Amino acid sequence: MNERPIKLLLADDDVDDRFFFKDSLSKLPFETKLTTVTNGVELMDLLMTSESDLPDVIFLDLNMPMKSGFECLAEIMAHDKFRNLPIIIYSTSMDEPVVKSLYEQGAFHYIRKPGEYSKLKDVIFKGLSSLTNKSTKPSIDNFVIQSL
């Protein structure tokens, strides 16, 4: 995929979800560098203070304390500096109108957290693999990534 590690930023308040995400990354066939934050305020502070070392992709949970993923997505898309950052929504919910709204607001993909840990690696891999051509946002039909 890439010669250098893919820089990922995961914003998720659930300690178990962060652990399983990190563990799944270690099983992928390419190298990654993961940074995690536990809420939306930390995410936005990190992005606003990073001069040039932005992540290649952000995995964003929707339901976080202090500032939700919805609020973060809106803030990220409002800044020219961040507008081209691929944002992959990473959530347990699957409300069709919400999913459509997130697509329209600029999210790159929507991954529904699988109920089984064994399927997590596959959905993360699919999301990262689609970033090889970042300039082309997937159609709404290919926006949602779910485990089979």
The pLDDT value given to residue 33: 93
Whether this model's pTM surpasses 0.85: yes
Tokens matching residue 62? 């929707």
The pLDDT value given to residue 72: 93
Looking at 26-121, which runs of residues are DSSP E strands?
Answer: 32-37, 57-60, 87-91, 109-112
Q: How far apart are CA 60 and CA 113, in angstroms?
A: 11
Q: How far apart are CA 24 and CA 117, in angstroms?
A: 8
The pLDDT value given to residue 1: 44
The pLDDT value given to residue 116: 81
Q: How large is the angle between the packed helices 96-105 and 69-78, nearest 10 degrees?
A: 20
The pLDDT value given to residue 133: 58
The pLDDT value given to residue 100: 92
Q: How many helices (H) and strands (E) does the chain have?
A: 5, 6
What string of pLDDT tens digits covers the 148 residues of the chain? Answer: 447 889 999 999 999 999 999 999 999 888 899 999 999 999 999 999 887 788 999 999 998 888 999 999 999 999 988 888 899 998 888 888 889 999 999 999 999 888 787 888 888 888 888 876 556 777 788 888 877 6
Task: Work out the widest C-alpha separation in the chain, in whole angstroms.
Answer: 39
Q: How far apart are CA 124 and CA 101, in angstroms?
A: 22
Strand, coil or helix: 138: coil
**Domains in the chain, please, with CATH?**
6-145 (3.40.50.2300)
Give the CA angle between residues 32, 36, 39 to the nearest 5°. Answer: 150
Cβ neighbours of residue 9 closer than 8 Å, sequence gap 6 or more: 34, 35, 36, 37, 43, 46, 55, 57, 58, 59
